[in-house]
Amino acid sequence: MYDRLKGFRDFYPEEMSARRKVFDTVETTAARYGFREIGTPYLERTQMYVDKSGEEIVEELYAFEDKGGRNVTLNPELTPTVARMVVAKQQALSKPIKWVSTRPFWRYEQVQQGRFREFYQTNADIFGSSEPEADAEILAFAADALTDLGLTADDFEFRVSHRDILGGLLRSFDADVDVRDAVRAVDKSEKVEREEYLGLLSDAGLSYDQADEFADLLERGDLDEIAEFGGENVEAAVENLQNVLAAAEDFGAGEFCHVSLTTARGLDYYTGVVFECFDSTGEVSRAAFGGGRYDDLIESFGGQPTPAVGVGIGAAPLQLLCQRAGVWPEEELTTEYYILTVGDTRTVASRIARDLRAAGNVVEVDVSGRSFGAQMSYADSINAGTVVIVGERDLENGEVTIKDMESGDQTTAPVDDFPGDLDEPTYVDYE
Residue 218 has pLDDT above 90, yes or no: no
Q: Are residues 27 and 151 in the same domain?
A: yes
Q: Are 283 and 183 a contacting pair, CB within 8 Å?
A: no
pLDDT score, position 266: 67
Is residue 36 a contact partner of residue 100, using CB atoms and an 8 Å limit? yes
Alpha carbon distance 389, 415 (integer Å): 11
Residue 53 domain-assigned (yes or no): no
Residue 315 sits in the same domain as residue 418: no
Q: In which element (H, E) is residue 391 found? A: strand 384-391
Percent with pLDDT over 70 in the chain: 100
Amino acid at 315: A
Same domain, yes or no: 22 and 122: yes
Predicted confidence band of residue 264 (pLDDT cuts 50, 70, 90): confident
> Within this chain, do residues 343 and 209 fall inside the same structural domain, yes or no?
no
Instruction: Say how many domains are in the chain.
Output: 2
State whether 384 and 362 are in the same domain: yes
Distance CA 175, CA 18 (A): 53
CATH of the domain at 359: 3.40.50.800
pLDDT confidence of residue 234? 92
Domain shared by 249 and 388, yes or no: no
Identify the pLDDT of residue 270: 86
Rounded to two decimals, the pTM is: 0.91
Q: Give the CATH number of the domain where residue 314 resides.
A: 3.30.930.10
Q: What is the domain range of residue 417?
A: 333-427
Same domain, 137 and 99: yes
259 and 181 assigned to the same domain: yes
Q: Using one digit for the tens of pLDDT, what is the confidence trace for 370-417?
A: 999 999 999 999 999 999 999 999 999 999 999 999 999 999 999 999
Q: With respect to residue 65, please indicate whether it lies within any of the assigned structural domains.
A: no
Asked whether the predicted pLDDT for residue 268 surpasses 80, the reply is: no
Task: Examine the domain organization and report whether 355 and 423 are in the same domain.
Answer: yes
Which residues does the annotation place in the binding site for L-histidine? 77-79, 107, 121, 125, 265, 269-270
pLDDT tops 90 at residue 267: no
Q: What is the mean pLDDT of the chain?
A: 94
Residues 360 and 240 in one domain: no
